[in-house]
Amino acid sequence: MQLTHNEGYRAPFSALAAQARFVPRNRPEVLKEIIEADRAEFLDLAVEDGRVALVRRNAPVFCAFLLEPIQGEGGINVITREFAEELQRATAAIDCPIVLDEVQSGMGRSGAFFASSLVGLRGDYYALAKSLGGGLAKSSVMLVRRSRYRKEFELVHSSTFAKDAFSCFIALKVLELMEAEDGRVYRLAAERGQALRGMFEAVRADFPDVVKDIRGEGLMLGFEFRDQSEAASEQIRENAGTFGYLIAGYLLREHRIRTFPTASAVHTLRFEPSVYLSDEEIAQLEAGLRDVCAILRAQDGQKLVLA
């Protein structure tokens, strides 16, 4: 829970564990400042002139650095190459392992098996789940770099992390399908993602007063609306805190499009469709988004909230 940035989820459990430090996204200059600011002094043994002595040493207090290469619940925010390069240097200097959460961004959704590879980021630990099970099995996998792996871990946690023959069989089949035809599915994710993003950018160009940003990679894209907390329409203004849910409900009701906002960025709708996304489906989504944008421009809040 301490690794969850949303304070609403984290605060009730803040007394139960050591606190995490959060680094501003894509601010590489802040990394060293935080590392230097949080250091601890401890006593160590050293041999000096043939005698054992106690010496004071100073060291960073971080055990790991965890991040999503493309933030999912945080609003589909992409880590830049500049940030990734500085993170690699800063953590290597203090021997701090990097843990990459690729549960949403991994398994080819970004156009590469790992989204982190798109910015050259190498992790020491990788977390995969969900799509690894092919929609049939519940599956979670942790990948560990050989230099960090401890064989005692599996012995101590042999039941908690036991192998599951069914889930492993499904996961292997999923990987076989993804690697087939020299990784055709990754190229397809990149191509379909480019087509979807192109449509988003066209809508944004026509409604710059309504659409704030388009973010993401491949088929993991975020469509951000401008803040509606001071909207002229009372209905829209009163729903600003749950704005994404209001828009998602309208799209489902009027256009048979199912999507959802990100948990910590309610003005951002996330789109993570299948690689088999068709041009017809992209056109259907475009019609829905243009309808929503026109309503917001006209501030016709009643149309959004009425069933």
pLDDT tens, residue by residue, 11-20: 898 888 888 8
- Region 37-65 average pLDDT: 87
What are the Cα distances from residue 195, in Å, to 69, 142, 277?
22, 32, 10
Number of domains into which the chain is organized: 2
Nearest to 207 by CA among 269, 298, 294, 304: 294
Tell me the pLDDT band of 307, cut-offs 50, 70 and 90: low
CATH number at residue 275: 3.90.1150.10
Burial 250-283 (b: 16+ CB within 10 A, else e): bbeeeeebebebbbbbbbbbbbbbebebeeeebe
Measured from the Cβ of residue 137, the count of other Cβ atoms closer than 10 Å reads: 16
Residue that finishes a domain, picked among 47, 62, 77: 62
Residue 271 inside a domain? The answer is yes
C-alpha–C-alpha distance, residues 108 and 173, integer Å: 15
| Residue 214, phi then psi, degrees to nearest 5 | -125, 125
Determine which of 96-100, 122-126, 262-266 has the lowest per-residue pLDDT on average: 262-266
Percent of the chain with pLDDT over 90: 68
Do the beta carbons of residue 117 and residue 102 sit within 8 Å?
no
How much is the pLDDT for 140?
Answer: 87
Tell me the pLDDT band of 7, cut-offs 50, 70 and 90: confident
Residue that finishes a domain, picked among 13, 29, 62: 62
How much is the pLDDT for 160?
Answer: 67
253 token code pair:
């009701």
Tell me the pLDDT band of 49, cut-offs 50, 70 and 90: confident
Higher pLDDT, 204 or 20: 204
Residue 77 inside a domain? The answer is no
Residue 129 inside a domain? The answer is no
Residue that finishes a domain, picked among 25, 47, 62: 62
How much is the pLDDT for 249?
Answer: 95
Residue 146 inside a domain? The answer is no
How much is the pLDDT for 305?
Answer: 86
Length of the chain: 307
Do the beta carbons of residue 17 and residue 3 sit within 8 Å?
no
The amino acid sitting at 299 is Q
pLDDT at 268 exceeding the cut of 80 = yes
pLDDT tens, residue by residue, 117-176: 999 999 999 999 989 999 899 888 889 999 999 888 877 777 766 778 899 999 999 999
Nearest to 66 by CA among 89, 99, 35: 99
Residue 85 inside a domain? The answer is no
Range of the domain at 257: 183-305
122 token code pair:
């190498």
pTM of the model: 0.87
